[in-house]
Structure 1
Amino acid sequence: MKKYDYLIVGSGLFGAVFAHEVAAKGKHCLVVERRAHAGGNIYCQNREGINIHFYGGHIFHTSDRSVWEYVNQFAEFNHYINSPLANYKGKLYNLPFNMNTFYEMWGVTTPKEAVERIAAQRSIITHEPRNLEEQAISLVGMDIYEKLIKGYTEKQWGRKCTELPAFIIKRLPVRYTYDNNYFNDRYQGVPIGGYNILINHLLEGIEVRLDCDFNQDQTAWKSMADKIVYTGTIDEYFDYGLGELEYRGLRFETERYEIDNYQGVAAVNYTDSETPYTRIIEHKHFEFGTQPVTYITKEYPAVWKRGDEAYYPINNTKNQKLYQQYLMKAKQEQNLIFGGRLGEYKYYDMDKVIQSALRLAEKELC
């Protein structure tokens, strides 16, 4: 008889939620984590009372009341509303695209004026968009594309917008109201005290081993449990036998300032092509901090290579075809489940990760 019912590879949201749910029903779980801390990319590091979102800013948002109630069992969430700014060559614009943005860009003051301006600019695309550039212009026009989309997107993906597929931007949020709330979801906030509180409560009473790389000795780890739930990159699990899936990486530079307020908002996106980073996060604003010092993090897009943290899957046709081949290979494995953004090679918002983990746990327990 094996020692554990489930061995869960990865202690991010998917792994932590699944482990909590099955452990609550009496299953014996072991969570193994390659990093030196639990929590995956929502891990926070506290410095001088400020919770630094170590792998980039994370704002929890959902329209699913059951998911909102679920996370609030484990952490109290504040009333933070995401209202980022875009900085284009020193000029600030509100995001998402709304009447404040249109006023800042064109001086228009009514929705009718904004609709007419965008419609006139959109009309230059008269055919089915063939790439991301044409898709974006067909949705929001040339001015918004050139100032607020083009440079940011090309930095983020490391290639020209004309070389990116149109489906990456199927639609762009455009509001003809003076509303700077980035998300449309009903519920939104950040855990008071940081995301570690959420993860620690989810994993309370569950055995967690840090600094353990499952892929260094899969055979030994597999011998310990009846089932494996794997949340790492699916191609790495199979030792890249069919080839490498592509990802975009990120690099973070965190700086401390002896002032109480650096930029007045949690997130500023830098949308010109000349600025090397995509955004600056000022962490204290996620929790309305009043500390006399502040910490900011600059986020730099990076070329991903094997061994780096994988942040964004590159969902083009080539990669999706390769992922499907890995998925077929995975279905041949017994007692193995892939989950989460890396295991499923897709970008997930946090609430969708939780929904997916809860569905899996329910399926396993029925």
Structure 2
Amino acid sequence: MYDYLIVGTGLFGAIFAHEAIKCEKKCLIIDKRDHLGGNIYTENIEGINVHKYGAHIFHTSDERIWNYLNQFVEFNGYTNSPIANYRGEIYNLPFNMNTFNKLWGVITPQEAKEKIELQKKEAGIKEPRNLEEQAISLVGVDIYQKLIKGYTEKQWGRAAKDLPSFIINRIPVRFNYDNNYFNDKFQGIPIGGYNLIIEKMLEGCEVRLNTDFFSNRKELEGLARKTVFTGMIDQYYDYKFGLLEYRSLDFQTEVIKENDNYQGNAVVNYTDRETPYTRIIEHKHFEFGTQKGTVISKEFPSEWKNGCEPYYPINDQRNNELYRQYKVLADSEQNVIFGGRLGTYKYYDMHQVIASALVTVEKELGVEILNEK
């Protein structure tokens, strides 16, 4: 008899398993995929660690989270500095003085602010009601039209005016020449890839891959006193109240042997509406690779349907209200713990998943991890 059946070997499940084993609990962790790590899994292709499920760049300002992860792996000094390609024009992301100069020819921060304020005033937006209005109120019409609208509508499969305003709050705007996308104190890519983290976390834990929880649910649940579930919460309850909506992604990965440097940057966003993919990832740049040849992945957003991988919860009013119905059921469970992006229907960055997992562990096992000296 196991103390815990843990469904999913991503960060949440792996952290829970690691800490439970330290507390001398017996754990079985399963995954329907043929590899560990969930969406942070990296596949080695031609000596390059390829982010199989999209770019994952770790960042946090919480020193406790940073120290926790560094016990498993050392990080390199990679800084996320994506660029935008709008019909062949190249702009810096985040929006900064390089962007403003290229777009308007302005030199000083004051000139850039005046340009944005003028466009905001002309748009006449007092209280932003949707993403389009929020974006214009942040950066003006020109940047919205060139660098936000097309990319966002491809990403979400909806008109920007039909999307909630909070989505755009993640985009930083700076009146300096700092190309670092994140403001966080700590940032980097694990040296050797993310797989090392999960493998070390799961040392001493029984693992079963290619094991679908829903194909043999009754028997698997019968193996343990409690279940930690990191899959889709609506699927756990057999879609009792209806399907929660997600956006999915398709990746077109290509090995290019005749070119050592395809685009000169790890991440290039394509912000026009006509280009079908949102970005191209060149994986070797995450680890300052010098390998011969290179590997790129084009990222195509799509509507989620059964059989696809769910990536981004669509946290609009309808879906959030539907999730609340499932959460009432989840909160009444005595022997099931829901966690992770799919289990709580919430978009998480990696550091947020880690914090959530550790808080759950502390509550469940009665240990102190985040605040221990």
TM-score by length of 1: 0.98
Q: Secondary structure of the residue that 1:129 maps to in structure 2?
A: coil
- 1:227 aligns with 226
CA distance in 2, matches of 1:170, 1:82: 18
The answer to whether the 8 Å contact 1:125/1:134 transfers is: no
- 1:293 aligns with 293
CA distance in 1, matches of 2:147, 2:169: 16
- 2:279 aligns with 279
Is 1:159 matched with 2:158?
yes
Q: Secondary structure of the residue that 1:228 maps to in structure 2?
A: strand
The answer to whether the 8 Å contact 1:140/1:172 transfers is: no
The answer to whether the 8 Å contact 2:172/2:181 transfers is: no
CA distance in 2, matches of 1:333, 1:162: 39
- 2:80 aligns with 82
1:19-98 paired onto structure 2 within 5 Å: 19-98=17-96
Q: 1:156 offset after TM fit, Å? A: 0.3
The answer to whether the 8 Å contact 1:78/1:287 transfers is: yes
Q: Secondary structure of the residue that 1:141 maps to in structure 2?
A: helix
Deviations 1:127-186 (A, max 9, x none): 322221111111110001000000000000001112212232246421111000000000
Structure 2 vs 1, CA of residues 170 and 260 (structure 1 numbering), >3 Å: closer, same or farther? closer
- 1:336 aligns with 336
Identity %: 65
Q: 1:29 offset after TM fit, Å? A: 0.5
CA distance in 1, matches of 2:29, 2:338: 14
1:283-362 paired onto structure 2 within 5 Å: 283-362=283-362
Q: Secondary structure of the residue that 1:274 maps to in structure 2?
A: coil
- 1:267 aligns with 267
TM-score by length of 2: 0.96
- 1:215 aligns with 214
Q: Secondary structure of the residue that 1:254 maps to in structure 2?
A: strand
Structure 2 vs 1, CA of residues 171 and 291 (structure 1 numbering), >3 Å: closer, same or farther? closer
- 1:240 aligns with 239
Structure 2 vs 1, CA of residues 60 and 120 (structure 1 numbering), >3 Å: closer, same or farther? same
Amino acid at match of 1:24: K
1:170-181 paired onto structure 2 within 5 Å: 170=169, 172-181=171-180
- 2:183 aligns with 184
Amino acid at match of 2:362: E
Q: Secondary structure of the residue that 2:254 maps to in structure 1?
A: strand
Q: Secondary structure of the residue that 1:86 maps to in structure 2?
A: strand
The answer to whether the 8 Å contact 2:59/2:351 transfers is: yes
CA distance in 2, matches of 1:251, 1:99: 33
Question: Which structure 1 residue ranges, 4+ long, deviate > 3 Å from structure 2?
Answer: none
Gaps of 5+ in 2: 367-373
1:72-151 paired onto structure 2 within 5 Å: 72-123=70-121, 124-151=123-150
Amino acid at match of 2:48: I
Q: Secondary structure of the residue that 2:207 maps to in structure 1?
A: strand
